[in-house]
A and B are shown apart, each in its own frame.
Chain A
Amino acid sequence: MTRYDARALNLLRELTVSQYKLKDQSTFFGFLWSFLNPLFMVGVLFAFFHARLGESVEHYGIYLLLGLVQYTHFANTTSGAMRVLLSMKPLTKEAVFPKELLVVSSTMSHTLDFVIAMGFCVIAAYVSGVRPSSSVLFLPCVLILQFLLVSWVSLLLSCVFVLARDIEHIYQVFLRALLFLTPVFYTRSFLGDGLAHYLVVLNPLAHMIDLSRSILLDGAVPSGERLLGLLLVNGLLVAIAFRVFKSFEPRLAEYV
């Protein structure tokens, strides 16, 4: 069992801050780009789909924005964390510390943007006329659950990437498909009862997006069962991914 003391937490903090600074965020325009990217996509998707797919959705712009912010966070975080053991090769190969810190710090550095972007979504929602509700206090639950989701996916992907570098191309194709397999710009009812419906039910990102939309747009307080269920499933998957990572860790320096 790995023991984390104050020094490991200090390293996690330093790695997170360093990666955040390196992600062109130390410049104002680099920081702005993190938000302009999903905003630009919202503009394009809104222009194309508002008339048909969005006609039954109140505040379709915010509906799109939430979906895209969460999808973009998932895609950017997992892609970045997948490569981190190689992009920080000297640390992976020649420094002694628990290597999952590299993966977790990468996910944390991306999640800082996500937290700010979700705050921006809340402001945008109220500006565009969404009625304020106390349910917004449950939004941090979405942040925690999504962090758990990207953490287990990142831990597994980072191991697979070291063993098979071409997985990067396959994953980019998967991410493109995921945009369509996740109700980002359409509603669940659009899918009917076919195979696509079941694929969305099995898609953990879709559950996260549903949760944030119901909290912010519908003003609904999520049920304890729903939150606990998502927490248990993602918590269990983090534990499994962590075990897989630790069993692979002694061979990392050889494969990288």
Chain B
Amino acid sequence: MSEAVILTTHGLVKEFAAGGRRPTLYRALRSALRHGARDEGRLRSLDDINIVIRAGELVGLVGDNGAGKTTLLKTIAGLYAPTRGRVEVHGEVALLAGLGVGMIDELSVADNIHLYGAVCGLYRKTIRDHLDEIVAWAELEGFVDAELRTLARGMQTRLAFAIARHIASDLILMDEAFSTGDKRFQEKCDLYFRDSKRLRRTALLATHNLEFVKEFCDRTLWLHKGKQMAFGPTDVVLAEYLEFAAT
């Protein structure tokens, strides 16, 4: 393992306030007067996560619902501040927490390509140069001026992925972004991940699709109720996970 380290987490802990009450001025002032102490309890979503990801690795992230997969991705991306511990990222991070986040129904397909491309961190020139190719990949020729809301959900997902494929960040974090869509879309996604492996892109991919993990991921992280159960070669971790799930 001589590749450069892209991501390291040291004893990462993330807790959230348990209460979900609407924040009001009264509650904010009361909390401030108590020096930030909150009335609600704390829920621990991540508990002592220690991982290292090197350049060129595709790492799977598995676990049941509520395991902390999305929280981990968002904490690595810097959207959540760690409660304790550290996240060190050497390079640029892109997060695909859901395909099409930020796309707007009332705008045209062309407008959304520019907007979502910008949200994904693409240069304007990259978007302009690849506009036709994006439309072709998404199979939306003839819909460029249509409002996004007139497209079926699957077509919108295809469009978002067609744009997101051009992300060239050092670390790509994906949360089930590739697990939706029809068979044809899945095949196109598989092609993208084969390319990613060949081009040695670095990604942490959260999914429930174990077949996908087996096929594409070099190593896998298994979370359960916020705890790091295993992190290592995919076949070993998946075997442990499946054994655990069977009990």
Contacts and interface: CB of A to CB of B under 8 A. Distances in A.
Interface of A: 6-7, 10-11, 13-15, 17-18, 21-22, 88, 90-91, 93-97, 162-167, 170, 250-255
Given A95-B97, A165-B22, 9 more contacts: A11-B118, A13-B124, A15-B118, A18-B111, A18-B115, A22-B106, A94-B101, A170-B25, A254-B16
A-B residue pairs, 4 tightest by C-beta: A94-B97, A164-B25, A250-B81, A14-B118
Interface of A is mostly: helix
Contact of B102 (A95, A166, A250, A255): A95
Given A11-B118, A21-B111, A166 B79 contact: no
A255 B27 CA distance: 13
B74 A21 contact: no
B42 to A, nearest CB: 12
A15 B119 CA distance: 9
Contact of B115 (A14, A93, A162, A250): A14
Interface string B122-145: 111000000000000000000000
Contact of B25 (A14, A17, A22, A166): A166
Contact of B119 (A13, A93, A95): A95
Contact of A94 (B25, B79, B114, B115): B79
Given A253-B74, A254-B80, A255-B23, A91 B107 contact: no
Contacts of A166: 24-25
Given A7-B122, A21-B107, A250-B81, A90 B102 contact: yes
B94 interface: yes
Contacts of A6: 123-124
B28 A164 contact: yes
Given A18-B107, A255-B23, A7 B79 contact: no
A158 to B, nearest CB: 14
Contacts of A14: 114-115, 117-119
Interface in B55-78: 74, 77-78
B154 interface: no
Contact of B24 (A13, A165, A252): A165
8 contacts: A22-B107, A94-B79, A94-B97, A95-B97, A95-B101, A163-B28, A250-B80, A255-B23
